[in-house]
Amino acid sequence: MDIHHYGMYFTFAHVQTARAQSEREPFAAAWAFLNGHTPSGIDAALWGGLRYRLNDSRIGAAMAAEGAARWVDATLMEGQSFLDAARDTALLAHTHELIRDFEGDTPLSPDAWRSAFAARVEALNARAVGRIDEGYWRTLVNLLAGIVLERASDIEAACAEFQRAIAEDVSPRGYIEAAVMGKDGGAMARQIRAASALVLMAEAAAHIGIDLWGYNVRGVSVMTTAVYPIYYFYTTVKWKWDVGYPVENVQALFREYGGYLELLARRMASVGTTPSKDVNVILTDVRPLFDARGGGLTTLTHALPEVKRRGLFG
């Protein structure tokens, strides 16, 4: 299995595009966001890793290494919800891969950090999962852990679970039945969080030579479920899973968990899938997207240059 350690979700080619297009939107705004904003807490660890990879910043790498060492302790998950613990673990995995080749001084040696990370993943897997979106995030963590720890069996098991989810959980219409059922006000959140985890799995797998994006059962794929919620971004009148669900809630969810939309739009454009224009309409409203636990500053790493519209006479 060919593993290239350059972050979980992007490559140097993505960085080259972001640099070459730095004066064009949506990259210009995303660059301004990267250079003018510093998150706090565990998010700062990923931020440092992004600055290292995108700006060649050794200060960023040191920030990432310090944060990764501080937050990797499994006991820090105590008191967290399963979802928060899983999403923080995914952030740490991405951070580690961003600075894997950093040769400066770090608080923990690479072996010591990976040992602590393995213990964190083991502790997470020992916890009970109550909802389907939590289960998908656990599978994503296990895939990322397989990459970090170079354990092929973990990667294979996570990919098999992804394929099972597409085959058994996703409706031909796109919704994940176990996510949307219940009329408890949480259907949209579960659908978006579940779709996010699946997209992140597909993208991470693609960078180690495994095509989960293209996996489909009778035409149903990860893209089928990933695009399902986007049609409710501007109106929830036809959202039948929760009664009286405010559109503002949907928009807030996409701003919190929407990092995957850039990955989705890029993939759809690469295969010529027409609904990408619907995704792009939403992206115009929510960019630049920074989802620390869902891919990072994905507008900078995955967006495509905006196409300039030609006038009547060219």
* Cβ pair 52, 34 in contact under 8 A: no
What CA–CA distance (Å, rounded) separates 165 from 73?
A: 30
> Does 28 reside within a domain?
yes
> Does 5 reside within a domain?
no
Comparing 275 with 157, the larger pLDDT belongs to: 157
Task: State which residues form the domain around 62.
Answer: 12-302
pLDDT at 200 over 90: yes
pLDDT at 8 over 70: yes
Task: Kindly report, residue by residue over 26-63, the tens digit of the pLDDT.
Answer: 999 999 999 998 889 999 999 999 999 999 999 999 99
pLDDT for res 308? 57
> Does 3 reside within a domain?
no
pLDDT for res 95? 98
Cα separations in angstroms, 140 against 96, 126, 211 = 15, 15, 15
Contacts of 23 (CB under 8 A, 6+ apart): none
Cα separations in angstroms, 257 against 30, 106, 203, 204, 250 = 17, 30, 16, 17, 10
- Count the domains in the chain: 1
Task: Kindly report, residue by residue over 232-256, the tens digit of the pLDDT.
Answer: 999 999 999 998 999 999 999 999 9
**Tokens standing for residue 108:** 């923990």
> Does 231 reside within a domain?
yes
> Does 163 reside within a domain?
yes
> Does 308 reside within a domain?
no
> Does 33 reside within a domain?
yes
Instruction: Give the mean pLDDT of 119-137.
Output: 97
Tell me, what CATH number does 266's domain have?
Answer: 1.50.10.100
* Cβ pair 63, 25 in contact under 8 A: no
Q: How many CB atoms lie within 10 A of CB 242?
A: 18
pLDDT at 6 over 80: no
Query: What average pLDDT is seen over the chain?
Result: 93
> Does 309 reside within a domain?
no
pLDDT at 272 over 90: no
Task: Kindly report, residue by residue over 206-233, the tens digit of the pLDDT.
Answer: 999 999 999 999 999 999 999 999 999 9
pTM for this model (two decimals): 0.95
Cα separations in angstroms, 299 against 218, 305, 306 = 32, 10, 12
